Chain A
Amino acid sequence: MKQYQSWGRYFKYTHQVHKIRWPGRAETVLQTTNRLVLPFGMGRSYGDSCLNDGGLLLDTTPMNRFMAFNRKKGLLRCEAGVTLAEILKVIVPHHWFLTVTPGTKFVTVGGAIANDVHGKNHACAGTFGCHVTQFELLRSSGERLLCSPAKNPDWFRATIGGLGLTGLILWAEIKLKPIAGPYIEEDIIKFGNLEEFFDIAAESEANYEYTVAWLDSLSHGQSLGKGLFMRGNPAKPPYTHMPHRPSGLRVTVPLNAPNFALNRLTMRAFNLLYYEKELSKIKRRLVHYEPFFYPLDAVHQWNRIYGPRGFMQYQCVVPYNDGYQAIKTIVHKMATSGLNPFLNVFKTFGDYPSPGLMSFPQKGVTLAIDFPNQGRATLDLQTEIDAIVREAGGVSGYAAKDSRISAADFQHFFPQWAEFSRFVDPKFSSSFWRRVTTR
């Protein structure tokens, strides 16, 4: 049976759950319950923004019907529980793609809107919410609001990045992006330190739609911040060959690894292999979109490798002007912390504005780090990094990732929270929201 946990598996909360297959069921539940409710999709946010301890979850995944697909205009309308994976199955054969996609396709449309997720093309396409043309919102009062940039625009703004707190999104319509085929022309470039990373990032900005970098977080000294830079563009036919889609065989991590499985030694081994598997400085190849956008989706339940203690993901964004020094300090702090940060990702955000009031991205460099949960020390390190981010004028406390930010820090990074809270439905709440709004 489905586990109602978040992806980091750090919080051990209990919920009452109602599966929502039809909107009428949600109306009944909202009318009759005296608990606080929160919509729940695939549970892919890392922290507690998809959790509601002691409350009720409305599992929207059975509400997963497509409603309309305009193949000429590239407009897709579907219910909130449809996953991006299902959408891709339907649209890619007709030469359409998601304009913005996060690093996993196992998220629902409702969740993608509620977290206003971003991908590897933020500079040229912004966030997921930038391409939502309209949606319907069900409030606990029974009122249904059709929201778009023109209709109920304040509700539209509040609900994009609104963490599921403004009501239940019943369905949404999104604008797709035309593609010639399912392939990406990808470059993988090795960089030996942070300076090189910034050079490659600046050089790639103009000519590459998709950019992302993986960082070996355990190296320091001379090679502090070495890693692999991946950049790509949609490939145009004629193709040199047809890369196969490596999804025939899927692996699942069958059970929890012991807590000690991911230690400094195993991580070093992984990092070494991952970095050194690319022999040449730069490698160009044609790949299917699956391994390019969703490399981790090939391993189901990969979060189990962290063991029963779970893990936390930390993400921040730091503006360019001051960013270089701040990023260097953060990376150095991580590498020398002894807390085994793993799977670190660098991306750049452009100044493409999101309609979302509470949206996270702003122009700058963003860093996402996975920390195995090692208790107090892991929490303290993140608080220290927060201070550096704050100093540099950046933002931390991305709700889709965060597990620990204090209310004061959150309110500093998201001063618009007070304005947003006027749109929060009186019957909706989350563990995250209670954590960051109580002093």
Chain B
Amino acid sequence: MNRKFFINTALGFAAGLGAARLVKSRQDRQRRLSFRNTGPRKVLIIGATSAIAAETARFFAAAGDDLFLVGRNPQKTAAVTNDLQVRGANRVEYRLQDLADTAQHANLLAAAIEWLGGLDIVLIAHGTLGNQKACQAGYDLTEKELTTNFLSVVSLLTPLANHFEQQQRGAIAVISSVAGDRGRQSNYVYGAAKAGVSAFLQGLRNRLAKSGVAVITIKPGFVDTPMTAGIEKGRLFVGPEVVAKGIYQAIETGQDVVYLPWFWGGIMTVIKHIPESIFKRLSL
């Protein structure tokens, strides 16, 4: 059995799910989140220079929202800020921060909430796709990957969850990955971090459901961004603007878990159901 066979089987399955999903998405559109009022929404975007986040932010900008961006690179963060301002954002501010330094998170969130005058939506989008081989060679890099992709997210979500729980409304969206659905030899360090994020969000959603806060787990498949620049692009790759549209819609309609594009839901259902005795022999 090879990779192609899997992908084709999964695509067939996905087509079936797609029809069901179309019906569901129509229903979702009916139940808009209650926090949507007429004024600008207060949106915090962490990891704002990532291609997916920057594209998602454009939807909020076009809707005339207030945006607070967090990035690491000064030129890039400023460039994204200017872009969103021209595209129609009501107000945009940014702050430079290396998110691996979790000690700064409390300050960061306080500054964002103060500038925005509250918080309606947060999108956590930062992450790195480290080299798996290099991670295998030593724990140092593995630890760094886990910190960036998992622990720093937990560090941000812990105070954020309390804030949202208290205000009883809003949406927390976090970019996880299909890589977290099943560990594979080609990227299990990244996958483990994303699996941690997905499980954390699952629990958080369970906790915040009664407070009316939406917790949205976003699981993109292959996206053509600088993060995947070194990977050869097959036909399953999509541009970041495609995923961004899905994220924006998921936030607007308060989804729980979204695979983007939708067919990855089918692909991952198949992949998750392969018996481990077979799966361990595959070169995935």
Contact = CB atoms under 8 A, between A and B. Distances in A.
A78 B87 CA distance: 11
A62 B227 CA distance: 13
Interface residues of A, number: 13
Nearest to B54: A65
Interface in B213-240: 224-226, 229, 233, 235, 237
Contacts of A68: 82, 86
Given A21-B226, A66-B86, 13 more contacts: A1-B233, A1-B237, A19-B224, A21-B51, A65-B54, A65-B80, A65-B82, A66-B87, A67-B79, A67-B86, A69-B86, A90-B87, A90-B88
Contacts of B83: 65-67
Contacts of B224: 1, 19
B272 interface: no
18 contacts: A1-B224, A1-B233, A1-B235, A1-B237, A19-B224, A19-B229, A21-B226, A22-B76, A65-B54, A65-B83, A66-B82, A66-B86, A67-B82, A67-B83, A67-B86, A69-B86, A78-B86, A90-B86
Contacts of B82: 65-68
B94 to A, nearest CB: 14
Interface string A368-401: 0000000000000000000000000000000000
B48 to A, nearest CB: 12
A25 interface: yes
Interface string A267-289: 00000000000000000000000
A65 B226 contact: no
A65 B88 contact: no
Nearest to B88: A90
Interface in A49-95: 62, 65-69, 78, 90
Contacts of B51: 21, 62
Contacts of B226: 21-22, 25
A25 B233 CA distance: 18
Contacts of B86: 66-69, 78, 90
Interface string B49-64: 0010010000000000
> B51, B82, B225, B235: which has the most chain A beta carbons within 10 Å?
B82
> A1, A25, A68, A90: which has the most chain B beta carbons within 10 Å?
A1
A65 B79 contact: yes
A43 to B, nearest CB: 15
A271 B54 CA distance: 46
> A22, A65, A90: which has the most chain B beta carbons within 10 Å?
A65
A90 B79 CA distance: 17
A28 to B, nearest CB: 11
B50 to A, nearest CB: 10
Contacts of A69: 86
Contacts of B80: 65
A69 B84 CA distance: 11
A288 B95 CA distance: 42
Contacts of A62: 51
A54 to B, nearest CB: 19
Question: Which 6 residue pairs across A and B have the least CB separation, nearest first?
Answer: A66-B86, A65-B83, A69-B86, A66-B83, A67-B82, A65-B79
Interface string A11-28: 000000001011001000
A21 B49 CA distance: 10
A387 B79 CA distance: 50
Nearest to B236: A1
B265 to A, nearest CB: 21
Nearest to A78: B86
Nearest to A67: B82
Contacts of B88: 90
Interface in B17-37: none
B127 to A, nearest CB: 16
Contacts of B76: 22
A424 B238 CA distance: 34
B240 to A, nearest CB: 8
Contacts of A25: 226
Nearest to A76: B86
Contacts of B225: 21
Contacts of B237: 1
Interface in A283-325: none
B86 to A, nearest CB: 4
A78 B224 CA distance: 22
Nearest to A66: B86
Contacts of B229: 19
A234 B54 CA distance: 35
B212 to A, nearest CB: 34
A62 B229 CA distance: 13
A67 B79 CA distance: 7
Contacts of A22: 76, 226
Interface string B84-106: 00111000000000000000000
B85 to A, nearest CB: 8
B276 to A, nearest CB: 33
Contacts of B54: 65
A174 to B, nearest CB: 13
A85 to B, nearest CB: 13
A22 B80 CA distance: 11
A100 B88 CA distance: 24
Nearest to B83: A65
A398 B76 CA distance: 37
A65 B80 CA distance: 7
B77 to A, nearest CB: 12
Interface string B67-81: 000000000100110
A57 to B, nearest CB: 14
Nearest to A71: B86
A25 B227 CA distance: 12
Contacts of A78: 86
A272 to B, nearest CB: 41
A335 B86 CA distance: 49
Nearest to A17: B233
> B79, B86, B235, B237: which has the most chain A beta carbons within 10 Å?
B86
A308 B219 CA distance: 37
Interface string A243-286: 00000000000000000000000000000000000000000000
> A62, A67, A68: which has the most chain B beta carbons within 10 Å?
A62
Contacts of A66: 82-83, 86-87
